Structure 1
């Protein structure tokens, strides 16, 4: 893997994980020393992060981690709803039913595990669940086989990951999300595009309602 790719992946992960907070200055020299690569790969990585919307050019400060807010969620979902629903519909028409049936079983297992969590889901279990959700995204992307649609969704999901972390999903919501994802997988496996689109719409509307509710709660809304 090229040095610029390694630098990009490392910085991207740290931004999405929150290790690099909004407003953090991403100086070339500092990041070069920290990541153990020369300044040229870091410069290339910062350009890619800026193109992704994860970094901005701030006057007098250089490249900084871009801001994110729960208030952005309505704007993001205006795009997400039609794109995700169309992707689900196409996956139902073009995808491998067995693959989505297997994913449905794994989401059912995840729902059982998450339902048994008390006040908080262990970090490793939460990480495994989100990895499973990414597997579903990848399966849909491969089934759709439309680089324009999947490219737009991939860019959009980057920002949704950051918003989701701000909203801090509770165990009950994660269990509900697993159940909704299972329904999406089952609908796609059925080969019925209308059912798949409807299942995706239900999941997205419930996700939006949850995040909006968190944003409306002063006690839960972090400042960025």
Structure 2
């Protein structure tokens, strides 16, 4: 792995997992020492992170980690509903039913993966990631898939911020199972509606748990 890729991956993970909080100044010298690489790879990594919207130039302060406001979250979910609703409908029309039937069955058993232990939750999030990947593959639209992948970077930060509890995760698992079931049935309208319902409930949860600025 190139030094700039290593720096990018580490910084990106630290931002997404809130180890680097919004407003944190990412000085090249400090980060190069922390990551064990020279300043040039760090500079390249920060440029990539800025392109993703995870960092931004802040005048004389240099590069800082971007914040996520309630307004940002509303805008993300507006876009998410448009992109993911369409993707679910396309997946229902174009996807392999057996793939989504298996995901539906796995998501119905997802409660076994949800507990207060982080490792268990990571298994659940990985299962949801499999559903996302299956939809991306099924839609056969690289532009739409890329747009959703770019948005998901920020949604992971929002999810960490919301501190999902077990009841919400259990409800979300049922909602994801319904999406997979509709896609497996080839019902585009139902797949889009199930996605819209899931996003509405997710947004309500996030806004209820997001600290006011």
Query: TM-score, normalising length from structure 1?
Result: 0.90
Alpha-carbon distance between aligned partners in 2 of 1:198 and 1:184, rounded to the nearest angstrom: 8
Q: Which of 111, 122, 126 does residue 117 from structure 2 map onto?
A: 122
Partner of 1:60: helix, strand, or coil? helix
CA contact (8 A) 1:104 1:185 kept: yes
- Between stretches 206-215 and 57-66, larger displacement belongs to 206-215
Unaligned runs of 5+ in 2: none
Q: Deviations over 1:96-134 (max 9, x none)?
A: 1111111112211112443xx4xxx21111111112111
Report how far residue 57 of structure 1 moved: 0.4
Q: Which of 121, 145, 152 does residue 150 from structure 1 map onto?
A: 145
Partner of 2:60: helix, strand, or coil? coil
CA contact (8 A) 2:31 2:42 kept: yes
CA contact (8 A) 2:8 2:42 kept: yes
CA contact (8 A) 2:113 2:123 kept: no
CA contact (8 A) 2:113 2:121 kept: no
Partner of 2:109: helix, strand, or coil? helix
Partner of 1:26: helix, strand, or coil? coil
Matches within 5 A, 1:119-198: 121-198=116-193
CA contact (8 A) 1:88 1:197 kept: yes
Report how far residue 19 of structure 1 moved: 0.5
Unaligned runs of 5+ in 1: 216-220
CA contact (8 A) 1:87 1:140 kept: yes
Q: Identify the residue that residue 79 of structure 1 maps to in structure 2.
A: 79
Alpha-carbon distance between aligned partners in 2 of 1:102 and 1:40, rounded to the nearest angstrom: 46
Task: Tell me the matched-pair count.
Answer: 213
Q: Is 2:45 the partner of 1:58?
A: no
Report how far residue 202 of structure 1 moved: 1.3
- Between stretches 50-59 and 90-99, larger displacement belongs to 90-99
4+ residue runs over 4 A deviation: none
- Between stretches 182-191 and 64-73, larger displacement belongs to 64-73
Query: TM-score, normalising length from structure 2?
Result: 0.94
Report how far residue 145 of structure 1 moved: 2.1
Q: Identify the residue that residue 89 of structure 1 maps to in structure 2.
A: 89
Alpha-carbon distance between aligned partners in 2 of 1:222 and 1:21, rounded to the nearest angstrom: 16
Alpha-carbon distance between aligned partners in 1 of 2:162 and 2:9, rounded to the nearest angstrom: 24
